[in-house]
Amino acid sequence: MHMAAKTSRRPTQCKGRRFAKVLSALLLVAFLAISGCAARQLYQDYLVRHTQAQLTQLHRAVSTETVEEQVNSDWSRGMLELNPDYVGWLTVYGTEVDGPVVQGEDNDEYLRTDFYGDYSIGGVFFMDCLVDLEQDGNLMIYGHMMYDETMFGPLRKYRDAAFFKENNVLRWEDRNGEHFYKFVAGLILPDTADDTEYIDFRQWLNEQDAETTQRMLEIVEENAYIFQPDIMRDGSEKYLFLMTCTNNGANRLLLVAERMD
C-alpha cells in the first residue's frame, strides 16, 4: 500500500515540474522581449541626441560669419545642402531646444523622420504645412516631448509659472533674418476636434488682421493656464506657436510667443 501511494504521487510531481519549466521559459521570453524594447528605445534616444548635437555643431561652425557674409553666402549655413526642406533654426533660451526646422508636404512627413530623412522616434522640429513662409505672419512649429529632454522635452518645464517667466525668450532664424519672441501664454488643449474645448490654432496662421488677432488673444486668455497681458497690443503683433504632446496622450501643450521686433 505504501509503494502504491508513493507511485500515485509521481504524475502530480511531474506536472508540477513541467509547469515550472514552462513558466520559467515564458518569463525568460518576456524578459528578453522587454530588454529588447528597452535597448531599442535607448538606441533611438541616443540617435536623437547625436543627430541634434551634430546639426547644432554644423550650424554653429559658420555662426562666426558677419551678417553681411551670411546674406552674401548662404543664410541656411549649409542646412539646405543637407535637406532642401529646411526653413529655419529655432532656439529657446534657457533650455536645450536648439535645432533645425523643416517643412514637409504635410504634417505627417517628419513626424518620425529625422533631418537626414531616416526613421527617428523623435523626428525633427517641423513647421505646419499650412504656413506660407513668403508671408510675414504667424508661425507654428511642432516637436515631440521626449522623456530624455531632447526635442521639445524641455517645454514641460513651462507648466511652472516661475520657469515660464524666467525663460521666456526664443529666437527664430530664417531666410529673412532673425527675430526674437517672448512667451506670453501657455495652454493645455485637447487633441481631437470632437472635444468641446478643442481650439484650432491653425486658423490663425500666416497674416491676420488686427480684429482677428485681438479675438485670438481673447480666446487665448480665456483658456490659458498662464497669460501675460500687455495694454500696448494693438493687433498688429506676430506670433509663434510651439505645439507638443503632454504626459497625457489626449492633450497637447501649446506655448504662444509674441514677436518682440
Q: Which three cell numbers stand for residue 5?
A: 501511494
Which one of the listed residues 14, 37, 59, 144 is annotated catalytic?
A: 144
245 is catalytic: yes
d(CA 225, CA 36): 40
- Return the DSSP state at 116: T
Q: Which three cell numbers stand for residue 141?
A: 512649429
Q: Give the three-class secondary structure for 124.
A: coil
59 is catalytic: no
Report the b/e string of 165-175 with b at 16+ CB within 10 A: eebbebebbbe
d(CA 86, CA 105): 12
Strands 169-174 and 239-245: unpaired
Hey, which residues are catalytic here?
144, 245
